[in-house]
Chains A and B, each alone.
Chain A
């Protein structure tokens, strides 16, 4: 496989763009267990990583894949895995471990219909809630939902930046349409790409405390194997990294873990709007459902109906306040999703408005006509 010349426009799939973006972001360790519809990410990286002096390992399963990327990341290497619903379920335990031990890592989940083996080759958006609450306990996590090949490239890089900056697992939540669509991508220029590295300690190994309090709420990192010895555990721990049962220390830990996303959410949350200024109806969409929505609202606007879109790029943390801000002049919200309404409820929470759900769970992409019909119905 040739290295990609990013000067030229290319025709590529979302999975290919995701793999390439990971390399651009500095990812040099991938451990995974191939699964449709994410397999091409592993396939591309199995060829590309050795060219970049990185490591690719095909693991025995998804539990081990997740464990391996956590360990690799602890040594200071940007790490990722890629999977789909059933594998994502298996990774949840160790995703919790990464949240608790504050290990930066990126998990790509290309959704398919579920539960269980479900619909391997057909599109779905059924893992929106699993991506937020799949592992137990109050935990920090960031989830991004691009809708085109170019957005997949950009958001994969941003996912690594979030992981490094906040020391959290970050999920790139794709669906089969975006993963397998082949479309034109014009790459960002080198100078437009921003890469963030985790902040490392300036302490000596003798004085270093792995979870020492900082003003930013994000502890400073020391690469495992570089002379710094410390304990990493999934148990609640204090600044030394060793388990603690001190209620005050436990409380501090859990509040800080969640606060470190909450306090920076304005720097994390991103969305895009179109035609919203004078809209009476707002369609809230993400992933490939957003593509159907753009077609629907562009067609409806031609018919004179005042409808706009609020497209979510960072589904977790959810843009509650941002949606509330636009909701004043909106009479109805419509939420198209390839699930039975996982985000519709959040939209309703944020806007305290009536939310009309457009759902498909038959393995088909929601068509512009299905959204259009609903828009016309509510605009009467």
Chain B
């Protein structure tokens, strides 16, 4: 009953019990557990975090920290280049997997694996493949050319590219799957009619597939961008932010500050990302809550 009472108090106005039907009382009781979780583990942490990040000196410190600027640029590269490459490939592969062949059906089952298995062991597996001394890649380079391979993860550009590659490896199946559902929803007779009219594959894509999938594709791209902002694993487990903290993204940078016991800096770096995140979130909410 205590939960009911606290739920009642949250609502404005006098004697509520007279205004609420029993079903509504139950509604409040059943909603209360989530509200409690939300208040204790979302509202309180966010408010507390914002309060910690309130001092302007934090932002001056961030501005003066070259690692922060680098992380911001890396994040932008990750999102703008990485996600768009991923989504174009996903769009392309959704067409491939829509082709009716038994072996393609089997391949689509295998193709889901990166999404189905946890990312930690597979990312570490990639990391060791590129180990300069013992990794299989440099062994192969040595056996073919007789030269030592490069120290892959020691070059920030290569390391960041590989982190993007790992991210694509992991999440490509999911987005391809979503785009396949979108593609299969296009009425088949449209393509048959185009076939009769002698349309090329590009014309079919340009005038049938793309117009029907455009909205879905853009939604997916934006959603993927928001989520990728929180992709900690691809960077942290592959490069650890190194070499020399040059491959951090905002997600790993926040944790780095946290580990250095600079919580207010960590929060400030997240606050700095908000002007980009919130419009995207607002747009997604408009689309999903329709």
Do A and B truly interact? no
